[in-house]
Structures are given as structure tokens and as C-alpha cells.
Amino acid sequence: FVLDDGTAMLAHLGMSGQFRVVDREAPRHRHTRVVIGLGDDRDLRFLDQRTFGGLTLAPLVDDVPGPVAHIAPDPFEDSFGVDEVARRLRAR
């Protein structure tokens, strides 16, 4: 997720992490770790039974969160194209 200030929120689900979108009035599951209020009386809730997962805030580097910039580009992104593939192959 990209926040209004341009910071990215990254999620690592670990072994048991999950997101749920629920009505704000829904009871909280005992493994709820983070609650983010959405603008329509619903919450985005991060649950993690084993606490191996987590959320991190990170700056964007070329529209990609810094901690994951080393991962291969997503072929469904607009920036992915023949020129970018050729540039990366030449760099190897």
C-alpha cells in the first residue's frame, strides 16, 4: 500500500498472517495485531497467530518500496517492457 505521504506499507505474512476486511463493529479476533480503519465503516485487520509476520513502513525508490527493490520486476507493471528487459540483460 502507498500512503498519502508516498511511504509504502509492506506486509510480510510469515506463516500464518492474513488480512481481513470486516465491518468496524465486528468483534476483534484474539490474534488481531493491526487495525486500519477504512473510510466506509469497515476495517482492514492484520491477524497473525504465530507473530512471524509484520508490517513495515519504507520509502519508495523508483516507485518500488526500498526493502524489495532487489526483487525482479513485475511483468504486469507499466515500467516493464522490452527496453527494460534488454537493459537488465545487458547489465548481467
Q: Would the pLDDT of 24 be above 90?
A: yes
Task: Give me the sign of the Cα torsion angle 67, 72, 74, 80.
Answer: positive
List, for residues 41-84, the tens digit of each pLDDT value: 999 999 999 989 999 999 988 788 888 888 877 778 787 888 88
Q: Would the pLDDT of 29 be above 90?
A: yes
Closest CA to 7 of 69, 63, 73: 63
* This model's pTM is above 0.85: no
What is the distance between the alpha carbons of residues 19 and 2, in angstroms, rounded to a whole number? 16
Where are the chain's structural domains?
Answer: 8-91
| Polymer length of the chain | 92
